[in-house]
Structure 1
């Protein structure tokens, strides 16, 4: 690249000045012409204006896409007199191809000519221009304004940039060289990256965007979360992560359309993963998980919720450091998978196997006999063929702190008593929906759990206030959920509030024997509480208009959180809310399913329907008697037989 001399610069600047003067002088000879046909060529237009004088220049702008004229042009004549002659011409002389041309004097362009000024790099890096140095007044004169310079250190700029969203952090790189340098320096200290609240409604992260961002911060990145915008990501994104993130430890690919091959490409050179979440990754099967477990022996957390292809055969490659496994809704997971986990993960602490419908009693026995360090166990959702004796074996999990057995109808009182006796460290327990065999005898045994803070016993229609009275003796309960328990009354809930001073949530939605008396008692019992108590009484007999004034420590919600279809006693207690609407439709609509029952007579408990066959024998006799003699003789018989 050649370097210009001072003389060459002067020649160029002088040439630009002359061009500007020439343009200003030619304004009195230049005309703007509008309403030109879109098929008119530049030659035809020039020949048309030659009758007014010599045309030095004609500019006909064209569309960039269609390459057709835009309907206007600029015509420059040799003299100003010729331009005035065209302006003063009659309309008949300005008709071209059936269009009357609009001719006006051309005006100076409103575009501002900007120049690049060479500033001192040192002053540019240390100063920020706050306002322009000149201001144009109403009279058109330039008024000198003071220039305010603010010295902001780089550390403060980086702190400000760290609060910006990802979009703005990329945009500031285009402002100046200094900001770009600071932004890139900030990217190099980025250890965690997610895309929550980054894209608008129909936008999403793409492979190209991911490549551009990871190129800036990938080498130092430790955590990457793609679950908030996985819609447009493809298999190529796995190669991008493998290329730019060699030290990645935490990865969330929930919802990404990854496959077995892409997981192999991801983990080919990436062996530092410790935390992986693959929720709703429907195309990843046994082979993909095999590659993941084979190449990452330091894995501690694995979440494959909703995987419809996982059977558990790949778990023989899992590392011994795994502490947490989330296998919820894995419909094909079988007992073999639990056996392989037992052989490899001796120190497993958390296991989630809710809605794994193919697991049997063998898996539960394996868990109770082998995972002695287990702290959290979720095995709700009606596991297949789990007997009463199997549930009692849960008492051997001495370190268990959280247990979820919801919707397991085979759970009995004996099993709950065994759990309450052996798992004395339980803090969270969920027995909701286990209504078939659970009674007060089993629930009363929960009073042995002195550390119990959260309890869910919803949809157990056989329990009464006696159970709540025994549970309240622990004194440490903080959350109690007792939805749709028809025999629970105000007395049982009052015992909970009185004996558990740390209670923060009581949900009795759908308990039809709860009344306004409970609200008044709770107000008096919690008047001096320092913490907030939320009481959910939706779907009960509590009347909103009769609620007394509440103090600041108590909040009452009338929202019904209970599910009508989970109630085991719905056919005895409450009508189906949707059936009420259907009954209204049946009453108002004559032909809803069957003809309108206007002829049904009810007397002394006997209902007679005119649509029965025995009542319709003689209804059309008057029609059959009017057959003519020349009609088909078998017509009456076919009519009666029909």
Structure 2
């Protein structure tokens, strides 16, 4: 009979990678062989600690003993709503991540209080920064800071960050490597603020505006004015009209366009009107329409026939709104 011990190390490592961090550490006590596997740097490239509200002492131990130079992506969270006595993320811990984890490229913070954590303390190696349901200070991106802060940052995801507003958005222009911006539920961002910010960030290649108070028409107008080289657009269809969509006609580099419902109004463009606009986009390869209330296969048939070189996806709204940015 084949047992776990008979499996190749590569298979065991793959199995161990699905275990929560706490269980990985526990199985290292089973035998010397498993201890050696748990120490394998491959197993600690991507670490998810959102299942736990860890004391700082435990986080420091993981950082020194297991993660260090192996770590490439880290998910932390669960601190904001755990009570006033809960441990909090600190500037010292963020600076330690930068010093001890030189290969850390992606940091995802969930439900965290960052009001005392300045952006200058984040690891300078980050290429992707995700904030989900986090609190930030009003001056987090506004104060004048060293232009070398996060010099490699290519993607920032702001999902339900209630304090984020126009001045914060303007502050993103300091990140000259930024190419991807996701705004999810940032209800304080205004149409004027978006337009002014995109004018300064005309190098963006991907923009997602989801679940905000901004209308799709105003978002598309700002994109057409300032982001002529954009490659991917994902926008909630709230306030979308045929004339509003038409401002995207002729976008020369757009490869993917996604419209998400479910807010449907009489002004919503028909499949034929969407087709007319998309035909003017020479590089469009993906058209995704979610939750627009179109039943049956007629809309998909019209779009597929009119866009033979494009992948057309027509489906209901996703069950999990937290998949917006994936």
What TM-score do you get using the length of structure 2 for normalisation?
0.70
Q: Which residue of 2 aligns with 1:235?
A: 88
Cα distance in structure 1, aligned partners of 2:198 and 2:264: 23
Q: Which residue of 2 aligns with 1:451?
A: 309
Q: Which residue of 1 aligns with 2:323?
A: none
Q: Which residue of 1 aligns with 2:128?
A: 275
CA contact (8 A) 2:155 2:178 kept: yes
CA contact (8 A) 2:80 2:113 kept: no
Cα distance in structure 1, aligned partners of 2:98 and 2:62: 11
Cα distance in structure 1, aligned partners of 2:108 and 2:126: 11
Structure-2 change in CA distance of 1:158 and 1:364 (3 Å) = closer
Cα distance in structure 2, aligned partners of 1:169 and 1:442: 46
Cα distance in structure 2, aligned partners of 1:354 and 1:172: 41
Q: Which among 115, 138, 154 is matched to residue 260 of structure 1?
A: 115
- Mark the runs of 5 or more structure 2 residues left unpaired by the alignment: 320-326
Q: Determine helix, strand or coil for the equivalent of 1:394.
A: coil
1:235-290: CA deviation from partner (whole Å, max 9, x where unpaired): 335532322443222101122x222222x0x6326222110111111x22542344
1:18-76: CA deviation from partner (whole Å, max 9, x where unpaired): xxxxxxxxxxxxxxxxxxxxxxxxxxxxxxxxxxxxxxxxxxxxxxxxxxxxxxxxxxx
Q: Which residue of 1 aligns with 2:229?
A: 373
Cα distance in structure 2, aligned partners of 1:416 and 1:225: 38
Q: Which residue of 2 aligns with 1:27?
A: none
Residues 1:331 and 2:187 are matched in the alignment:
yes
Structure 1 residues 276-295: aligned runs within 5 Å: 276-281=129-134, 283-290=135-142, 295=149
Q: Which among 59, 66, 70 is matched to residue 217 of structure 1?
A: 66
Q: Which residue of 2 aligns with 1:309?
A: 163
Q: Which residue of 2 aligns with 1:190?
A: 44
CA contact (8 A) 2:98 2:125 kept: no
Cα distance in structure 2, aligned partners of 1:239 and 1:452: 49
Cα distance in structure 2, aligned partners of 1:180 and 1:482: 45
Structure-2 change in CA distance of 1:444 and 1:381 (3 Å) = closer
Cα distance in structure 2, aligned partners of 1:188 and 1:441: 46
What TM-score do you get using the length of structure 1 for normalisation?
0.39
1:294-330: CA deviation from partner (whole Å, max 9, x where unpaired): 6213211111112222223123332122222110221
Q: Which among 229, 242, 256 is matched to residue 401 of structure 1?
A: 256
CA contact (8 A) 2:74 2:107 kept: yes
How many residues are treated as equivalent by the alignment? 290
Q: Which structure ranks higher in relative contact order (CA pairs < 8 Å, sequence separation ≥ 6)?
A: 2
Q: Which residue of 2 aligns with 1:356?
A: 212
Q: Determine helix, strand or coil for the equivalent of 1:208.
A: helix
- Larger CA Rg, structure 1 vs 2: 1
Coordinate RMSD, CA, aligned: 4.1
Q: Determine helix, strand or coil for the equivalent of 1:307.
A: coil
- Mark the runs of 5 or more structure 1 residues left unpaired by the alignment: 1-151, 457-480, 484-560, 562-642
Structure-2 change in CA distance of 1:305 and 1:442 (3 Å) = same
Structure-2 change in CA distance of 1:356 and 1:268 (3 Å) = same
